[in-house]
């Protein structure tokens, strides 16, 4: 059976060119970048070259990039680092109600430590209204953190407008660009971001490496303490092969993202139109136009997302529900609930995310299989009557 991977938002395969670039750093070029000898200096040069490649992807300066263990650490660093550096100035943070758990849980942690957090509402497409930022911001606000695009429904936020409001009131602005960096243009000047999170494994790089962009002059406390790596901002021996791979992936992404985004948005629209045409009682979630080029997120009435997922998997198609599944108890997604979806619809959701190796045949295969799966599940559902 041909297997079809449509879960690129969860993770991407490592690009073969990236693997080739990384390999020597796992074998003969194994030096520690902090060592003075030639082995160390070879590794140091590789890390600094990668820093330049990652900076170049987002229009930053190399010294504004701090490598981390991934997007989660970058988000935690941004939130906790600013909170602890500026706690004498203010104790208020603004974020949205559709953030990834890496931001959400970091905020919850800070609340326990005495910080106040405002969770902005979103409209039915998952979009934040900049006017709400205006209303929420005070002289005590030290940070506004709103993601560039949502990982579940793909909605893109009006970042530049939001960062402008934050800056007018003297607050820093952070954006989680884990789902956008390498896929659509991300430029720290255009977004006017002080802090921006990235992750290598979402852009055809390896897992376990990411970066936080920190605009020069931004006050931020370190939260991994130890050696002087990353200019004292993030201790620990650098993940040299990972960083080298991230750099290469960033270089390839910069070269290919425009053509790839165009190709993927055509596949996305083909899938959306095909599903809406072939399946009754199906709703597209997320913004109809301001959405990631590779994201299709739907709610199918009268069926469970997990049942569709398992049936698709039996047919070799890998998708995702977009709802978190923890130890057997299924919690509906906080993103979908914030958008105003009912628990039933949130439970009936399905996310397809496409990428570099997705073809038109893959999309057509989903269009053939999913209507059959839905019909089969609805036939077993006591809630569904044809034409209801």
Among the listed residues 12, 54, 57, 71, the single contact to ligand PLP using CB under 6 A: 71
* Residue 176 binds ligand PLP (CB under 6 A): yes
DSSP 3-state of 28:
coil
Pick the closer one to ligand PLP by CB: 339 or 374: 339
- Residue 355: φ, ψ to 5°: -160, -160
CB of 58 to ligand PLP, least distance (A): 15
* Residue 178 binds ligand PLP (CB under 6 A): yes
* Residue 70 binds ligand PLP (CB under 6 A): yes
Among the listed residues 82, 106, 147, 214, the single contact to ligand PLP using CB under 6 A: 147
Residue with tokens 């991230």, as numbered in its chain: 246
CB of 10 to ligand PLP, least distance (A): 7
Catalytically active residues are 325
**Dihedral over Cα of 216, 217, 223, 228: its sign:** positive
Pick the closer one to ligand PLP by CB: 12 or 229: 12
Pick the closer one to ligand PLP by CB: 126 or 274: 126
Q: Residue 282: which residues within 8 A CB-CB, separation 6 or more?
A: 275, 276, 298, 299, 300, 301, 374
Q: Rounded to whole angstroms, how far apart are CA atoms 324 and 340?
A: 17
* Residue 68 binds ligand PLP (CB under 6 A): no
Among the listed residues 76, 118, 141, 151, the single contact to ligand PLP using CB under 6 A: 151
* Residue 210 binds ligand PLP (CB under 6 A): yes
* Residues forming beta bridges with residue 120, ordered by sequence position: 96
* Residue 239 binds ligand PLP (CB under 6 A): no
* Residue 199 binds ligand PLP (CB under 6 A): yes
Q: Which residues of 128-162 are buried (b: 16+ CB within 10 A; e: fewer)?
A: bebebbeebbeeebbbbbbbbbbbbbbbbbebeeb
* Residue 181 binds ligand PLP (CB under 6 A): no
- 317-336: contacts with ligand PLP (CB under 6 A): none
Among the listed residues 21, 72, 76, 145, the single contact to ligand PLP using CB under 6 A: 72
* Residue 362 binds ligand PLP (CB under 6 A): no
**Dihedral over Cα of 28, 32, 36, 40: its sign:** positive
* Residue 295 binds ligand PLP (CB under 6 A): no
**Which DSSP helix (H) or strand (E) runs through 191?**
helix 188-191
* Residue 174 binds ligand PLP (CB under 6 A): no
Pick the closer one to ligand PLP by CB: 70 or 322: 70
Q: Which residue is nearest to ligand PLP (CB)?
A: 71
Task: Find out whether 335 and 98 touch, Cβ atoms under 8 Å.
Answer: yes
Task: Find out whether 271 and 363 touch, Cβ atoms under 8 Å.
Answer: yes
CB of 99 to ligand PLP, least distance (A): 8
CB of 265 to ligand PLP, least distance (A): 19
Write out the E strands in the chain.
4-5, 65-68, 92-96, 116-120, 141-145, 172-176, 195-199, 210-214, 282-284, 295-300, 317-318, 325-326, 329-330, 349-353
The strands making up 295-300's β-sheet, listed across from edge to edge, are 282-284, 295-300, 349-353
Task: Provide the binding-site residues for ligand PLP, judged by CB under 6 A.
Answer: 70-72, 75, 100, 102, 147, 151, 176, 178-179, 199, 201, 210
């Amino acid at each position: 059976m041909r297997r079809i991977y449509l879960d690129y938002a969860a993770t991407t395969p490592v690009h073969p060119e990236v693997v080739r670039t990384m390999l020597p750093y796992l074998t003969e070029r194994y030096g520690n970048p902090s060592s003075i000898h030639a082995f160390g200096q070879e590794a140091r040069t590789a890390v600094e070259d990668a820093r330049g490649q990652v900076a170049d992807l987002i229009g930053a300066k190399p010294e504004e990039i701090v490598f981390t263990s991934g997007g989660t650490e970058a988000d935690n660093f941004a939130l906790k680092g600013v909170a602890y550096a500026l706690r004498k100035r203010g104790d208020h943070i603004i974020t949205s109600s559709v953030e990834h758990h890496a931001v959400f849980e970091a905020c919850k942690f800070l609340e326990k430590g005495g910080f106040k957090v405002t969770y902005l509402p979103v409209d039915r497409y998952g979009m934040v209204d900049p006017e709400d930022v205006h209303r929420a911001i005070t002289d005590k606000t030290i940070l506004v953190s709103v993601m560039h695009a949502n990982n579940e429904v793909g909605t893109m936020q009006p970042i530049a407008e939001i960062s402008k409001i934050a800056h007018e009131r003297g607050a820093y602005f952070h954006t989680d660009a884990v789902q956008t960096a390498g896929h659509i243009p991300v430029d720290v000047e255009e977004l006017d971001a002080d802090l921006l999170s990235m992750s290598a494994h979402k852009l055809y790089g390896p897992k376990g490496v990411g970066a936080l962009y920190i605009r020069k002059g931004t006050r931020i406390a370190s939260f991994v303490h130890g050696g002087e790596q990353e200019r004292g901002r993030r201790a620990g021996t650098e993940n040299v092969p990972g960083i080298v791979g991230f750099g290469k992936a960033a270089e390839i992404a910069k070269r290919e993202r425009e053509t790839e985004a165009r190709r993927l948005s055509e596949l996305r629209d083909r899938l959306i139109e095909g599903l809406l045409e072939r399946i009754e009682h199906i709703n597209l979630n997320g913004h109809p136009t301001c959405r990631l080029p590779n994201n299709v997120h739907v709610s199918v009435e009268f069926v469970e997302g997990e049942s569709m997922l398992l049936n698709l998997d039996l047919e070799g198609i890998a998708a995702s529900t977009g709802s978190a599944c923890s130890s057997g108890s299924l919690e509906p997604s906080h993103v979908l609930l914030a958008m105003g979806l009912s628990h039933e619809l949130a439970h009936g959701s399905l996310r397809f995310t496409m990428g570099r190796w997705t073809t038109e045949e893959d999309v057509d295969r989903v269009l053939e299989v999913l209507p059959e799966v839905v019909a089969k599940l609805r036939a077993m559902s006591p809630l569904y009557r044809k034409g209801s």
